[in-house]
Amino acid sequence: MRTVTLQSPPYAALSIPPAPSSSSFSFRNSTLFFNTWLPQFRASSSASTRFALDASSIQTASTTELDAVSAFSEIVPDTVIFDDFEKFPPTAATVSSSLLLGICGLPDTIFRNAVDMALADSECYGLENTEARLSCFSSKALVNVGGDMAKLVPGRVSTEVDARLAYDTHAIIRKVHDLLKLYNDISIPPQRLLFKIPSTWQGIEAARLLESEGIQTHLTFVYSFAQAAAAAQAGASVIQIFVGRLRDWARNHSDDPEIESAQLKGEDPGLALVTKAYNYIHKYGHKSKLMAAAVRNKQDLFSLLGVDYIIAPLKILQSLKESIASPDEKYSFVRKLSPQSAASYVFRDEELVKWDQASLAAAMGPAAVQLLATGLDGHADQAKRVEELFGKIWPPPNV
């Protein structure tokens, strides 16, 4: 992965379903990474299960593997930097605590003024309680940056909800309402927004209630079928599954029934979960879009063709872009997931329950429990670090 200094035009993007289309943005280990949606790559509505690489489908010698796979799924570049902006232009964005840390670490970014203006906000400034004041600053900063991004991209902006609220449904809803009001104050309509919420039971329930209000949600940290099915029943706009993280867990742990069931069938646990979740969503008519993240290689991507969105590392996309598709190439382009194949998928009776808190807790194995906890701890730590940083640099200079 390559590092990048935020310079104009820094269009950040995150794994988000398109409203025309979407993108993704994250900050890890003091390095900015961009996940950018490709507007020209749309999931195919064709019922065909095989991409016919013949003279009619490959009209010119310049047709690439990326063109071929993009007939089935929207391909989302991961870790795209500004040097690649023209190759992979983003159409949507996300804002998070990790992004705020990155902005504060790069004072020349065009988003720094959005943070400084948040720290000078009179409403937050007047709060006597230090914890409330810092939380107010953080919310204002997220929305100010999100508002700037909304002016730069045509698609939706996703805003992360504080992971420390993950086990409090009403607190999540209050936070989303607060963020939505702040966005309304700067004239960003709700149709341009998504809110990224952890897939605890409380987060899933919050998503259900928010979606009933017409507020779009993106459920993350999904590591089990029970979470995916509950999220679909809740009507989440986007459900994100991390393929590679499940594989990594399975290599170093055991005694997870869901993972062992996939392995006994000779299946990769991450790929198997995406397949099962996709089939559930499409067989039973749920509105959710499914996103496969943490894709590690070409074969992963080929195995997921047909899922709504695939987040792939830049090195994979570059290889696909540079490879010319031909009838005799090594990999055949087959649509692995489709509404037609979903219709014939057989689920067990216990998988078709109306999920509630008790059944979800009972069904989540150690992989989902541990990976969810790890994700929450990491994001909660980032939120805390932002508040600590704001406490040190407030009030900002020259404002």
- Domain residue ranges in the chain: 65-393
Inter-residue contact 15 to 38 (CB < 8 Å): no
Higher pLDDT, 262 or 29: 262
Inter-residue contact 302 to 69 (CB < 8 Å): yes
| Residue 10 confidence (pLDDT) above 60 | no
Give 157's strand partners.
Answer: 93, 193
pLDDT of residue 219: 97
Q: Which of 9-13, 125-129, 331-335 has the highest mean pLDDT?
A: 125-129
CA-based radius of gyration for the chain: 21
312 by Cβ neighbours in 10 Å (0-12 / 13-18 / 19+) ranks as: buried
Structure tokens at 184: 């309304």
User: Mean per-residue pLDDT for 320-324?
Assistant: 86
Cα 228 to Cα 207: distance, rounded to the nearest angstrom: 13
Percent of the chain with pLDDT over 70: 77
Cα 399 to Cα 389: distance, rounded to the nearest angstrom: 17
User: Mean per-residue pLDDT for 293-301?
Assistant: 93
Cβ neighbors of 353 (< 8 A, separation 6 or more) are 359
User: Mean per-residue pLDDT for 69-79?
Assistant: 78
Is 65-393 in CATH node 3.20.20.70? yes
β-sheet with 238-242: strand ranges across:
74-78, 309-313, 289-293, 238-242, 217-222, 193-198, 157-160, 93-95
Q: Are strands 31-35 and 24-28 parallel, antiparallel or unpaired?
A: antiparallel
Instruction: Name which of 63, 14, 73, 68 is nearest 43 in CA terms.
Output: 73
Q: Tell me whether the omega of the peptide bond preceding residue 395 falls within 30 degrees of 0, making it cis.
A: yes
User: Mean per-residue pLDDT for 326-334?
Assistant: 62
The mean pLDDT value of the chain amounts to: 82
Structure tokens at 385: 């670090």
pTM greater than 0.85? no
Inter-residue contact 92 to 155 (CB < 8 Å): yes
Q: Which of 28-37, 77-86, 366-375 has the highest mean pLDDT?
A: 366-375
Structure tokens at 4: 């990048």
CA dihedral 276, 281, 285, 289 (to 10 degrees): -150
- Of the residues 87, 151, 181, 196, only one is catalytic, namely 196
Is 196 catalytic? The answer is yes
**Pick from 81-95, 126-140, 242-256: least confident:** 81-95
| Residue 60 confidence (pLDDT) above 80 | no
Cα 305 to Cα 296: distance, rounded to the nearest angstrom: 14
Cα 216 to Cα 158: distance, rounded to the nearest angstrom: 9
Cα 37 to Cα 23: distance, rounded to the nearest angstrom: 4
pLDDT of residue 94: 76
| Residue 129 confidence (pLDDT) above 80 | yes
Higher pLDDT, 103 or 210: 210
